[in-house]
Structure 1
Amino acid sequence: MLTSLSIKNYALIDQLQVDFNDGLSIITGETGAGKSILLGGLSLILGKRADLSSLKDNTQKCIVEAVFNVSNYKLQALFKDEDFDYDDQTIIRREILPSGKSRAFVNDSPVNLSSLQNLGERLIDIHSQHQTLQLTNNDFQFQIIDALANNEESLHKYKKELKQFKTLEKEYSELVSFQAEAIKEHDYHSFLLKELLEANLVDGELKFLEDEYETLNNIEGIKEKLLESYELLNAEQIGVLPTMTALKNSLQKLAGFSAKYDDIYNRVNSSLIEMDDIFGEIENLQDDVEANPSRLEDVDAKLKVIYNLMQKHVASDISELLKIQTELEEKVSFTENLDDTIQKKQNEIDAQTKILDGISEVIHDNRIVAIPKLKSQLEILLASLGMPNAQFKIEAEYSKTFFANGKDALSFLFSANKGGSFNELKKAASGGELSRIMLAIKSVLSNYMQLPTIMFDEIDTGVSGEISNKMGDIMLQMSKTMQVFSITHLPQIAAKGHSHFKVFKEDVNEVTQTNLIKLNHDERIVEIAQMLGGIEMSSSAIAHAKELLN
């Protein structure tokens, strides 16, 4: 419930601070006194977009702050989802800066407007002519029925499963579309894969093949150089090995004369052993080097295949080609197995359909039970509001389509006159009748669910006498379970409030200002008497005002 409201520098309001109680609060005032300004300030708290022109003094910022007791509203989950700091006494503040920028805060934490709107609609329901048009909205009509049907838990479960169902349908549609495209590319991908598989690629073999090609392609030159090396090492007169052997023998004799020659002898001996080993390796290489035209042709062909594949796939080495080969294998395999994948997805959709059907039937059955109750209660209330022949024809027909709130197609028809035909509300009811229907609906809903604070903005327009008295009784009954505000011009309704506030204009230092004050008992008598008989109050108007209050 709204416990206090503070408005500073907004429209004709310089500064206003007022506290509110639970029950039924009445707001009265002359036409043009500023009731719409009050609602405008309150709407900023609920997330309405700010307008720089609403600043009273455009050199100062506008501040609107409201305190709500939200302990009974079960809003902890909403606060968590929106990342608000929860407090039973929640403070919402809205600021409009002279620059035109707007800021909003919930419990001193900055929030965006969409989040503020989500919270605001759970705190205050401002009933206006615009909201009366909700009556003709199919979703709103379902909300009324579902409140009586106690469908909240089932609808929550249904919406969760419907989300999963739509996800599965989307995935199925994407698979079918992908299959149509994949089939077109399947042959090409298969051709590319076949090329890569037939190449029998091995990671790292490119360098080995290139080395082998260079060897086979230059075999005669290699033979010539190996023979030349062989002869340089082993020629009888000038060969390295005979010369080093003679050197070794000469130094060996020196080593016999003195130990200081041992080191040079050992070094020459080690070099001779190494050169002898090199000679043996050259002999082996000569034995291995043979011309092999057939092998050269095979290596050349394999290299050409690899080079062509690298060029075609823009790859720098075989490892990249193997990666592309793996990707093609996956694409080809996926395409070839798409029928199975699509069938599995269809099976999931079928299973999800059964789950939704089960929940939908529960929702439908509950609605069928609730509709006669709603019809009866509304018709009784409307009869007391001067519409004795009002009748509703409400039907929920179970369909094959999954809608956002079940499988029911709703027909919500109305007839205001005896013997009249049933038609849609927007065609069958006048503006004044729609207002009374909305009041009756809100009254019924207040018995079945915790409604936010409701503010009726001149819902009594166009009615008087006993009907206005009954409207006041209905609002008074509603206020037993919720906080109700009524902006009214009717004394019969004004007298029923637990609290009474007056909106008025006054000139301060030659500047017009709007203010709001809470009336005491005597002030209420005066206000209601003026509502009955005008500024020049008669003794009978005062007596009538006292009678209404008593």
Structure 2
Amino acid sequence: MLTSLSIKNYALIDNLHVNFNDGFSIITGETGAGKSILLGGLSLILGKRADLNSLKDATQKCIIEAVFNVSNYNLKSLFVEEDFDYEAQTIIRREILPSGKSRAFVNDSPVNLNSLQLLGERLIDIHSQHQTLQLTSNAFQFQVIDALANNEDELQKYKKALKSYKNLQKELKDLLDFQAEAIKEHDYNSFLLNELVEANLVEGELEILEEEYETLNNMEGIQEKLAEGYELLSEEEFGILSKLTSLKNALQKLSGFSSKYEEVFNRANSSLIEMDDVFSEINELQNHLEADPSRLGAVDSKLKVLHNLMQKHISSDVSELINIKNQLEEKVAITENLDDTILKKQEDIVLKESELNKISQVIHKKRNDVIPQLKEQLETILSSLGMPNAQFEIDAIYSDAFFTNGKDELSFLFSANKGGNFNELKKAASGGELSRIMLAIKSVLARYIQMPTIMFDEIDTGVSGEISNKMGDIMLQMSKTMQVFSITHLPQIAAKGHSHFKVYKEDINEVTQTNLIKLNHDERIVEIAQMLGGTEMSTSAIAHAKELLN
């Protein structure tokens, strides 16, 4: 419930703070006194978009803050989903800055407007002429029936199953679309794959083949240079090995005289050992080196295959070709196995359809079970509100289609007059009748579900006398289980409130301001007497006001 409201620098409001009680609260005031301003400020708390023109002083920020007791609203899961800090006494604050930017906070944590709207609609239901039109929509009518039918759990199961069903349908469509395209590409992909398979790709082989090709292709020059090296090393008198051996022997005789000579000797000996190793390696290479024209042709052919494939697939090395081959294998395999995948997906859809049908049948039965009860209650309430001939024809017709809330198509028809034709609400009921129907529906809902705070904005427009008295009784009855506000011009309704607030304008320093005060008992007598007889209160008006209050 709404426990307090503070408004600063909004429209004609300079600084307002008011505390509210539970039960039935009345708000009255002359036309133009600022009741719409109060509702506008409250709407900002509920997530309505801000307007810079709302600032009373364009140089100062506007702050609107409301405190709600949410302990009985089962909102912890919503707070978790929206990442709000849960507090039994929840504070919502909106700020409109002079720059035009707007900020919103829940328990001092910043939130976006979408999240604020989700929370706001669970806290306050502002009934206005616009919301009366909502009564004519099937979505709202289903909400009413499902509330009475206690369909919440079934609807959650249904919506979860429907989401899964639609996902499966999309996946099947994607598979069928893919299959249609894949069939066109299958032969080409198979051809490309066969090319890559026949190439017997081995990672790293390109570099090995290129090295082998260079060797085979330059065999004569390689043999010539190896022979030249062999000769330089091994020539008996002037070869490098012979000369190094002589050098080693000469230095060996000096190594005993000084460590410096020994170091030179060791280096010369190391050079001899290294050159001897080089000689052995050259000899080994010569022994294994022979021209092989057929191998050269084979290597050349394989390199041409690899280079052609790399050019065709725009690849830089064999490893990329191997990845492309793997991808083509997967595409070809998927295409060849797609029928099995599609069949499995179709079977999953049939199972999900069966689940949806079972849940929707339960929803349908529960709806039809409560429709006579809803019809009877609405007609009884409307009869007491001056519509004795009001009748409803309500049918939930089971269909073949899966809708967002089941498989029912709803027919919600109304006739206001005896012997009149039944028609849709928006065609069969006037604005005043729609307001009374909405009040009747809200009254019925209050018996079955925990509703948020409700604020009726002049729902009594166009009625008077005993009907207004009965409307007041209905709202008073509703206030036993929820917080109810009524903005009214009728004294009969105003007198029924547990609390009474007055909206008024006053001029301070030649500036008009809107304010809101809570009236005590004597002030209520004066206010109701003025509502009965105008500002010139007669003795009878005062007496009548006291009688209404008592």
TM-score range, shorter chain: over 0.9
Cα-to-partner distance string for 1:399-435 (whole Å, 9 max, x where unaligned): 1211111111111111111111111000011111100
CA distance in 2, matches of 1:248, 1:110: 88
TM-score (normalised: structure 1): 0.94
**Does residue 99 of the first structure (1) align with residue 99 of the second (2)?**
yes
Classify 1:279/1:22 alpha carbon distance in 2 versus 1 (closer, same or farther; 3 Å). Answer: closer
The equivalent residue for 1:36 is 36
1:43 is displaced (CA, Å) by 1.2
The equivalent residue for 1:179 is 179
CA distance in 2, matches of 1:39, 1:93: 15
Cα-to-partner distance string for 1:238-267 (whole Å, 9 max, x where unaligned): 4556666778889999999xxx99999998
The equivalent residue for 1:414 is 414
Q: Which amino acid aligns with 1:496?
A: K
CA distance in 2, matches of 1:65, 1:537: 37
Classify 1:211/1:450 alpha carbon distance in 2 versus 1 (closer, same or farther; 3 Å). Answer: same
Classify 1:445/1:286 alpha carbon distance in 2 versus 1 (closer, same or farther; 3 Å). Answer: same
Cα-to-partner distance string for 1:483-529 (whole Å, 9 max, x where unaligned): 11111111111111111111122222222222211111122122112
The equivalent residue for 2:214 is 214
CA distance in 1, matches of 2:21, 2:240: 118
The equivalent residue for 2:541 is 541
Q: Which amino acid aligns with 1:80?
A: V
The equivalent residue for 1:392 is 392
The equivalent residue for 2:308 is 308
The equivalent residue for 1:403 is 403
The equivalent residue for 1:485 is 485
CA distance in 1, matches of 2:495, 2:250: 139
Aligned residues: 550
Classify 1:295/1:544 alpha carbon distance in 2 versus 1 (closer, same or farther; 3 Å). Answer: same
Q: Which amino acid aligns with 1:513?
A: Q
1:162 is displaced (CA, Å) by 1.5
**Does residue 66 of the first structure (1) align with residue 61 of the second (2)?**
no
CA distance in 1, matches of 2:228, 2:272: 19
**Does residue 205 of the first structure (1) align with residue 183 of the second (2)?**
no
CA distance in 1, matches of 2:100, 2:277: 93
Cα-to-partner distance string for 1:454-496 (whole Å, 9 max, x where unaligned): 1111111111111111111111110100011111111111111
State the superposition RMSD in angstroms.
Answer: 2.6
Tell me which stretches of 4 or more aligned residues in structure 1 moved more than 4 Å: 233-256, 260-281
Cα-to-partner distance string for 1:30-54 (whole Å, 9 max, x where unaligned): 1111111111111111111122222
Q: Which amino acid aligns with 2:201?
A: L
Classify 1:471/1:286 alpha carbon distance in 2 versus 1 (closer, same or farther; 3 Å). Answer: same
Q: Which amino acid aligns with 2:341?
A: T
Q: Secondary structure at the match of 1:74?
A: coil
1:101 is displaced (CA, Å) by 2.0
Classify 1:35/1:234 alpha carbon distance in 2 versus 1 (closer, same or farther; 3 Å). Answer: closer
**Does residue 340 of the first structure (1) align with residue 363 of the second (2)?**
no
The equivalent residue for 1:445 is 445
Unaligned stretches of 5+ residues in structure 2: none
CA distance in 1, matches of 2:82, 2:473: 38
TM-score (normalised: structure 2): 0.94
Q: Which amino acid aligns with 1:508?
A: I
- Aligned pairs for 1:5-404 within 5 A: 5-240=5-240, 278-404=278-404
Pick which of 434-443 and 388-397 moved more. 388-397
1:194 is displaced (CA, Å) by 1.4
CA distance in 1, matches of 2:267, 2:492: 128
Pick which of 361-370 and 536-545 moved more. 536-545
Cα-to-partner distance string for 1:35-89 (whole Å, 9 max, x where unaligned): 1111111111111112222222222222221111111111111111122111111
The equivalent residue for 2:500 is 500
Cα-to-partner distance string for 1:423-448 (whole Å, 9 max, x where unaligned): 10000111111000000000000000
Q: Which amino acid aligns with 2:372?
A: P
Q: Which amino acid aligns with 2:373?
A: K
1:200 is displaced (CA, Å) by 0.8
Classify 1:91/1:261 alpha carbon distance in 2 versus 1 (closer, same or farther; 3 Å). Answer: closer
Unaligned stretches of 5+ residues in structure 1: none
1:125 is displaced (CA, Å) by 0.7
Kindly, what percent of the aligned residue pairs are identical? 78
CA distance in 2, matches of 1:383, 1:254: 135
Q: Secondary structure at the match of 1:136?
A: coil
CA distance in 1, matches of 2:548, 2:439: 22
